[in-house]
Structure 1
């Protein structure tokens, strides 16, 4: 159903090779449907008003995480943020924080992906892997990782974290959630190695437990809980080493 109502998109613009400093540009677009999303609004602007606007998107189904951005005071996925949910006709959009800006709402995520790679995000079964057959896992064991495997690597948690803003080498909530996913998996045989990865000056102990990462996760995951779990497992490991 079409309507004559309009909505205003106030968008961060910056081209490092051309602009001396960032600025905001406002666009007025028709509020065509009640289920209009922020991402659809951005596509309307790009296709009909200003084809120079740059932003990332892919699946449009909140699965790939590529359309993450700062929308009206909170990091969100643009594809599953309805304009009506924001309860205002003015939509203010910034790019993700703590990463260099390539253009407009597109940031250079190289450091983010490097931290993900550092966590070795794959099963390392080690010596416990059977010579033949499958590495079996009970339903109860699988339940331990059910709440950890849905991360879409959108970087909302990374951008909302105040520590990643001031410490370049800090691994960040995404990396800790990834580490916890494998530490908690009974099929993985690299538990000691993974705990050692996050147990240094750039690891879990630098977290200030602000809970921003938990609040902004579009998949309702709990990076803060993963950090607390990793800390507990590190302490348990140290106690066991002293006792035996």
Structure 2
């Protein structure tokens, strides 16, 4: 099946404005968008830049906008798009570095800000791990599957309007630790998330739910975190 790929191209060193470049290849059954990009880079234009690593939906590196929706290229089969022309753009809301690669550092800075690790000043047991029941883990199970692809944050209109907004990914990471029964770091994180660029910038638009390749439903975690903040205050 011959398919045209309309790919966003941008090279800051060239002095040219961003543009689209068209490539036509014969797509076989089961071929993913990432497979197509690799083929285009190998046989059509070696200068094409995009990120990829695991090719298995684990690393999150190949998140990009495909036909207007944020997706992992490695999990998106071309045949399923049912389109003779596939349009590929970098994740919106992030600064393009070159072609489909964007600057993820501000995204990671926000993740670091919510202290995404276990905080517990109590000494752990000397002979075993900190125990958590299956029921307690179930509360945070979905949130632990985040692969930091950035698709949710990039899809959020609140983030587009306010680049200081922590975004769904960072807030879900905060939720994951605040609701971890082994964690004691709520007071350390509350000041980071309880402000106009944190929880209260989320207006439950729910684009993030649709964009998440792991079906985490960030708005649910954010809503529970909002409730926690209010209950702790009053």
Q: Which of the five TM-score ranges fits, normalised by the shorter chain?
A: over 0.9
Deviation of the 1:81 alpha carbon? 0.1
Provide the residue aligned with 2:98 in structure 1.
Answer: 103
Extract structure 1 runs of 4+ deviating beyond 4 A.
none
Provide the residue aligned with 2:126 in structure 1.
Answer: 132
Secondary structure of the residue aligned to 1:145 is: coil
1:198 matches 2:193:
yes
1:119 matches 2:114:
yes
1:67 matches 2:62:
yes
1:210 to 205, 209, 212: 205
Larger radius of gyration: 1
Q: 1:4-153, aligned counterparts within 5 Å?
A: 5-31=1-27, 33-127=28-122, 129-130=123-124, 132-133=126-127, 134-153=129-148
TM-score (normalizing by structure 2):
0.96
Q: Deviations over 1:112-170 (max 9, x none)?
A: 0100111111111123x445343211111111111110001000011101111121211
What are structure 2's unaligned runs of at least 5 residues?
none
Secondary structure of the residue aligned to 2:3 is: strand
TM-score (normalizing by structure 1):
0.93
Q: CA RMSD in A?
A: 1.1
Rounded Cα–Cα distance in structure 1 between residues aligned with 2:47 and 2:133: 52
Aligned positions, number: 233
What are structure 1's unaligned runs of at least 5 residues?
240-244
